[in-house]
Chain A
Amino acid sequence: LHNVFKSDFLFKFLVIGNAGTGKSCLLHQFIEKKFKDDSNHTIGVEFGSKIINVGGKYVKLQIWDTAGQERFRSVTRSYYRGAAGALLVYDITSRETYNALTNWLTDARMLASQNIVIILCGNKKDLDADREVTFLEASRFAQENELMFLETSALTGENVEEAFVQCARKILNKIESGELDPERMGSGIQYGDAALRQLRSPRRTQAPNAQECGC
């Protein structure tokens, strides 16, 4: 069905965070709308893509899902270049994964771009009984570091789509306000096949809740 639509934009997204936080499951849930209970851990990098409708615009997300283990970082860091958005994932039942966020954040801002739009995802929301990181604490961290924030569950699907869509919407807003220039090299944004016409003259009429993703 996706191929029927022509996209207006193409955004490169990253999914980063410690091993075992559910990065690949988030991606799988987003694309297939299913929980993958027999997934392998990622070695190197995995990919996924999906076209979503954000405020009337079709945006193709090209998502790079990276291996979480520390020693893969030397390899995966080379994938960061040119990413427009990122999901920074930790596991709400593991403080260790939360403590690692600062490192991931530094990497993303340094290697992708200063303007990269990042949404913090506290995954495994369904395992509330084993929670080690409170919502409040994480949202403070998000605020201090200018991140958007959601708690997600790749198992139930809660907030998964929202995470990707919110991140994409923020990027679109930045483009419309002129804060982001898609034509700048390494912005992680490309015009889609639906071509440049509407975008040459940015319309500021975007209604935030118009049509949420229809795919």
Chain B
Amino acid sequence: MLCHSSPGISLSEPKGDLGYIFELKSSHQESGPWEGRVLEKREKVPSCIHGCLEGRAQICWLEEVPLEVLRQRESKWLDMLNNRDKWMAKKHKKIRLRCQKGIPPSLRGRAWQYLSGGKVKLQQNPGKFDELDMSPGDPKWLDVIERDLHRQFPFHEMFVSRGGHGQQDLFRVLKAYTLYRPEEGYCQAQAPIAAVLLMHMPAEQAFWCLVQICEKYLPGYYSEKLEAIQLDGEILFSLLQKVSPVAHKHLSRQKIDPLLYMTEWFMCAFARTLPWSSVLRVWDMFFCEGVKIIFRVGLVLLKHALGSPEKLKACQGQYETIERLRSLSPKIMQEAFLVQEVVELPVTERQIEREHLIQLRRWQETRGELQSCSPPRLHGAKAILEAEPGPRPTLQPSPSIRLPLDAPLPGSKGKPKPSKQIQKEQKEQQKQAKGYLDKPPTPNQTKMASAAGDACPPQDVAPKDPVHQDPAPQDSAPQDSAHHHSRESLTSQESEDTYL
């Protein structure tokens, strides 16, 4: 049913996950000649539960979830959110399943923070966002950001008015990022991502989620040369060969560069492509399972748009084909259909990583080394948690001697040796990991990282810029530090910190 015509459901669910109240700005701060017109529209028009203004939305469908089911899901999610470690450690499969079913709208914002590790980052860096927020920022970026503020989801009530709350927060988040990573600056494709986050959480939380997306889920996507997105275009195209040979053949015969259709899809995580409720469901899965979901959605869309000879009849030329991919049939983007297809499509992290290696080698042969260094990407919530364990209470007594991060332990030449206790714990964790991880996320990354050599400075360990410096995790969790570092130095530190 159409979203805005479902009063029963909109009553049962708060508007915006935090129950934001959006005030109607009166005409002060008139910053553009069209201000009046937009406001007028807004005053008259009711909006759906997602905040889309009627008649201006991407088609906004809502799959009806019975109220009772919704309540049940909410209480399950509340339990998960309140017992993060238990759930993340032991019941990852279950979390994945629940993300596939869709996160209840009232808890979506919290769940995204929890899955992405944005919440942990925030806890580890108290006051950081405020500090960035207070800084003036580089005018070079501010100018570009300002030009984009009114161009994000203008159909959404939060962003409709110039200079309104939504646009102000968007500015703060994007500006803060340019200060947090000055060498990355601002990429226009970050704006829709930040806007979607802001629809679900306050600015500070949205900022840390954005950081996680840019650095863990989609590293390199927004960097200077956009090399990561070009590589992923090749990976997508190569995966398509198995998923839909017909579509693959057609696209290669017409010499259509993947960049022509996938740039916006991937860089915005489909936020500007799919109907709104599908966007949310895709993001639920994306936060849990990582970039695999983005690849799968792309593959499903290509398969259903170009996957049969009948469909190709209308796409004789290059231009017609691109047109078809730019105006996809609503049927294949519809929430229930799309999610089902994405869940069932057998494309795994391992396949993506293998293909990544192949394409990386090809790139190096034809174009030389990559110019920008991105950290390896982490495939979803579990991998992120393992790479960056948050502050949590530990049952062990805290060690009486604490060593700095790089100090070798007596008796070891290079890397610190873990204590027996830690080794034991590590084994246990590995045992647990086997149970619920479909593929171990790091071996390929480690290989790639070592192949790429040490040319790239590890950002998190030795930041060039003082602004970069995250307070190290031990600040907020002293009792956890020794355990954390020694374990990392053995297992994940190389792959985590060596940039490609």
Contacts and interface: CB of A to CB of B under 8 A. Distances in A.
B267 interface: yes
Interface string A67-79: 1010110110011
B319 A40 contact: no
B475 interface: no
B235 to A, nearest CB: 16
Interface stretch (B128-136, B225-233, B306-314, B446-454): B225-233
B264 A71 contact: no
Nearest to A155: B33
Contacts of B152: 40
Given A19-B144, A38-B56, A47 B259 contact: no
The residue in A19, A45, A75, A78 that gathers the most chain B C-beta atoms within 10 A of its C-beta is: A75
A113 interface: no
Contact of A43 (B34, B223, B264): B264
A100 to B, nearest CB: 12
Nearest to B152: A40
A43 B188 contact: yes
Nearest to B272: A40
A155 B32 CA distance: 12
Contacts of B34: 37
B187 interface: yes
The residue in B188, B224, B319, B322 that gathers the most chain A C-beta atoms within 10 A of its C-beta is: B188
Contacts of A20: 144, 147-148
Interface in B443-474: none
Contacts of B319: 47, 49, 62
Contacts of A41: 147-148, 151, 188, 191
Interface in A66-115: 67, 69, 71-72, 74-75, 78-79, 96
A75 B272 contact: no
B154 A44 contact: no
Interface in B67-84: none
A79 B188 contact: no
Nearest to A62: B319
B339 interface: no
B267 A43 contact: yes
B226 A72 contact: yes
Interface string A24-46: 00000000000001111101111
Contact of A75 (B143, B147, B229, B322): B229
Contacts of A49: 319
B151 A39 contact: yes
B189 interface: yes
A47 to B, nearest CB: 6
Given A20-B147, A49-B319, A71-B224, A44 B259 contact: yes
A32 to B, nearest CB: 15
A78 B257 contact: yes
B260 interface: yes
A62 B225 CA distance: 27
B260 A19 contact: no
Interface residues of B, number: 37
Contacts, number: 73
B37 A37 contact: yes
B326 A47 contact: yes
B63 interface: no
A72 B260 CA distance: 12
A47 B37 contact: no
B125 interface: no
Interface string B209-225: 00000000000000111
Contacts of B425: none
Contacts of B345: none
Contacts of B224: 71
A196 to B, nearest CB: 17
Contacts of B191: 41
A44 B56 contact: no
A67 B148 CA distance: 12
B38 interface: yes
A7 to B, nearest CB: 13
B183 interface: no
Contacts of A38: 38, 56, 154-155
A47 B322 CA distance: 9
Given A40-B152, A69-B188, A75 B38 contact: no
A49 B323 CA distance: 10
A1 B147 CA distance: 36
Contacts of B226: 71-72, 74-75
Contacts of A155: 33
Given A20-B147, A38-B154, A45 B188 contact: no
Given A43-B267, A45-B260, A69-B144, A74 B225 contact: yes
Contacts of A47: 319, 322-323, 326
B123 interface: no
A191 to B, nearest CB: 13
A135 B315 CA distance: 44
A20 B38 CA distance: 20
Contacts of B268: 43
B263 interface: yes
Contacts of B144: 19-20, 69
Contacts of B187: 69, 71
Contacts of B223: 71
A22 B187 CA distance: 18
A7 B187 CA distance: 39
Interface of B: 33-34, 37-38, 56, 143-144, 147-148, 151-152, 154-155, 187-189, 191-192, 223-227, 229-230, 257, 259-260, 263-264, 267-268, 272, 319, 322-323, 326
Given A37-B37, A72-B226, 4 more contacts: A38-B154, A47-B319, A47-B322, A79-B260
Interface of A: 19-20, 37-41, 43-47, 49, 62, 67, 69, 71-72, 74-75, 78-79, 96, 155
21 contacts: A19-B147, A19-B148, A19-B188, A20-B148, A37-B37, A40-B154, A41-B148, A41-B151, A41-B191, A43-B188, A43-B267, A43-B272, A44-B259, A45-B263, A46-B326, A67-B188, A71-B187, A71-B226, A72-B226, A74-B227, A75-B263
User: Which 5 pairs, one residue from A and one from B, show the smallest C-beta to C-beta distance?
Assistant: A44-B263, A20-B147, A38-B154, A43-B264, A41-B151
